[in-house]
Amino acid sequence: MKYYFAPMEGITNYVYRNSHNAIYKGIDQYYMPFIAPHHHHHLKTRESSDINPANNQNIDVVPQILSKNAEDVIYTLRQLMELGYGEVNLNLGCPSPTVTKKNKGSAMLDDLDNLDGYLDAIFKASPGLKISLKKRIGYQDTSKLNALISLYNKYPIDKLIVHPRTGIQMYKGSVDLAAFDAFYKDIKAPLVYNGDIKTIADIKAIEQKYPKLEGMMLGRGLIARPYLIDEYTTGQNETLERFERFIESLEEGLRETLKYDKDVLFKLKELWAHMYIMFDHSKKPLKHLRKAQNLEDYHKALDEMLECGINNSEEI
Ligand SMILES: Cc1cc2nc3c(=O)[nH]c(=O)nc-3n(C[C@H](O)[C@H](O)[C@H](O)COP(=O)(O)O)c2cc1C
C-alpha cells in the first residue's frame, strides 16, 4: 500500500512539504496544489515557485493541473517534463463554485463527451509522461458513474485517485463507499482511495475493505496529525520533541518566504485549526492561538498548547 499526501491549496505548498518530508517518514509522494495555466501560458509566482525543482529537492512530488483546455494542459505537461517531472496529475475534483462555474474541476464530470475529447487529446499528445487523475464520483450525482468508469478504462491512466463525494457535496455529508466499490470492482487503472481518513483505525478499515488498492491519499487527517502515516508505518508514537521540530521548521520556512509576520501568523493559525486535535484539553490554548495578534502572542499560546501534551492514549 502506498501513502500519498493530498494536495491542499494554500496549505501544502513547498514550505509545508519540505518541513513534513524532513521530519516524518512513510509518505510515498506529495501531490502539489493545482496550477491553473492560462492560454497565455504564464504561471502565477506562487505556482512557479511551487513547481520549481530547486524548492522540491529530495522529495517525491507530483504537480497537478486544473484546466478544461487540453491544449493548455499539453503545453504545461511539456513544461513540466522539461523540469524533470515524470508524473502529472489532472484535477477533476475541485468542488469550489469559482472553479465549477467555469466548467472546470468536478464540473467536468457532468459532460462525458467533452471529458472524453479532453482526455483523448491529452493522452495522445503526451507519451512517456505518467498521467494520473484525481476526481470525485460525479458532479451533481452518481448517475454517470458506470459511464465514467468505461470512459477511464479507455486510457492508460497511471493512477485514479477517487474521493467518493460528488462535487456539489463539497466536503459535507459522508463518503459514498458504495460508489467507490464500483470503481474498485471495474476500473483497470491502479486505484487510490481518498477521503476522511483521520485515524489509524480509518487506515486499517480502508486497507481491510479494499486490499487490492494501489494506495490511499490523506489530506485533512495528515494536516491534523502530521505524524499519522509515520506512526502507522513505524509503530512509533509521536513525541513532543519531534512535533516541536516540525512546527518550528514550518514557522522558519514561512518567515523566509512570506513578507509580513501577519501572513506567517495567518498560515500558522490555519494549520492549528486542524492540529489542536492531537493535544489533550486543548480548548483554552486554542482560543489563545486564535486570538493571537502577533507572533509573540502566538508563541505564548503555542507553549500553552505544547504543555497539554500529545494524546497518544488511544489508538488514533
Ligand atoms: C483547503 C483545501 C484545499 C484543497 N486543495 C486541493 C487542490 O489544490 N487540489 C486537489 O486536487 N484537491 C484539493 N483539495 C482536496 C483534498 O486534496 C482532498 O481530496 C480532500 O480534502 C479529501 O481528502 P481528506 O478527507 O483526506 O482531506 C483541497 C482540500 C482542502 C480542504
Q: pLDDT digits over 124-162, tens only?
A: 998 789 999 999 999 999 999 999 999 999 999 999 999
Do 193 and 245 belong together in one domain?
A: no
Looking at ligand 1, which residue's alpha carbon is closest to its atom 30?
8
Exposure string over 148-164, b if 16+ CB within 10 A, otherwise e: bbebbeebebbbbbbbb
- Residues with CB under 6 Å of ligand 1 are 6-11, 33-34, 64, 91, 93-94, 134, 163, 194-197, 218-221
Is 220 a known ligand-binding residue?
A: yes
Cβ 37 vs Cβ 67: under 8 Å: yes
Using 50, 70 and 90 to split pLDDT, how confident is the model at 18? very high
Of ligand 1's atoms, which has the minimum distance to the CA of residue 89? 11
Q: pLDDT digits over 240-294, tens only?
A: 999 999 999 999 999 999 999 999 999 999 999 999 999 999 999 999 999 999 9
The parent domain of residue 265 ranges over: 240-308
Do 220 and 265 belong together in one domain?
A: no
Do 42 and 92 belong together in one domain?
A: yes
Do 16 and 34 belong together in one domain?
A: yes
Do 264 and 294 belong together in one domain?
A: yes
> Which percentage of the chain shows pLDDT scores above 70?
98
Of ligand 1's atoms, which has the minimum distance to the CA of residue 33? 8
Question: Is residue 314 situated within a structural domain?
Answer: no
> Which percentage of the chain shows pLDDT scores above 90?
95
Ligand 1 centroid to residue 79 C-alpha, Å: 24
ipTM metric? 0.99
Mutate to test the pocket of ligand 1, among 4, 5, 8 (most ligand atoms within 8 A of CB): 8
308 is catalytic: no
Q: pLDDT digits over 187-237, tens only?
A: 999 999 999 999 999 999 999 999 999 999 999 999 999 999 999 999 999
* C-alpha count within 13 angstroms, C-beta hemisphere, residue 216: 27
Q: What is the CATH number of the domain that holds 45?
A: 3.20.20.70
Mutate to test the pocket of ligand 1, among 9, 106, 225 (most ligand atoms within 8 A of CB): 9
Do 62 and 201 belong together in one domain?
A: yes
Residue linked to cell 497518544: 312
Residue linked to cell 494554500: 10
Mean pLDDT of the chain: 96
Angle at 206 between CA 106 and CA 93, to 5 degrees: 5
CA distance 131 to 252: 34
Question: Is residue 316 situated within a structural domain?
Answer: no
Do 89 and 212 belong together in one domain?
A: yes
Query: Residue 240: its pLDDT value, please?
Result: 96
Question: Is residue 154 situated within a structural domain?
Answer: yes
Ligand 1 centroid to residue 6 C-alpha, Å: 6
Ligand 1 centroid to residue 189 C-alpha, Å: 21
Looking at ligand 1, which residue's alpha carbon is closest to its atom 29?
8
- For the chain, where are the alpha helices, taking DSSP H only? 14-23, 45-51, 70-82, 97-100, 112-125, 145-152, 177-186, 200-209, 220-224, 228-234, 240-257, 261-275, 283-291, 295-308
Question: Is residue 36 situated within a structural domain?
Answer: yes
Looking at ligand 1, which residue's alpha carbon is closest to its atom 2?
8
Query: Residue 41: its pLDDT value, please?
Result: 82
Domain end, chosen from 193, 208, 234, is at: 234
Query: Residue 38: its pLDDT value, please?
Result: 84
Q: pLDDT digits over 26-46, tens only?
A: 999 999 999 999 888 889 999
CA distance 194 to 213: 11
Does the pLDDT of residue 313 top 70, yes or no? no
Q: pLDDT digits over 155-197, tens only?
A: 999 999 999 999 999 999 999 999 999 999 999 999 999 999 9
Rg (CA), the chain: 20
Of ligand 1's atoms, which has the minimum distance to the CA of residue 91? 11
Domain end, chosen from 203, 234, 265, is at: 234
Domain end, chosen from 176, 202, 234, is at: 234
Do 223 and 244 belong together in one domain?
A: no
Query: Residue 126: its pLDDT value, please?
Result: 80
The closest alpha carbon to 147, from 173, 195, 121, 114, belongs to 114
Query: Residue 312: its pLDDT value, please?
Result: 83
Catalytic annotation, pick one of 94, 148, 224, 292:
94
Does the pLDDT of residue 314 top 90, yes or no? no
Total domains, the chain = 2
Do 61 and 210 belong together in one domain?
A: yes
Largest CA distance in the chain: 57
What cell numbers appear for 229 in the block? 502515516
Query: Residue 40: its pLDDT value, please?
Result: 83
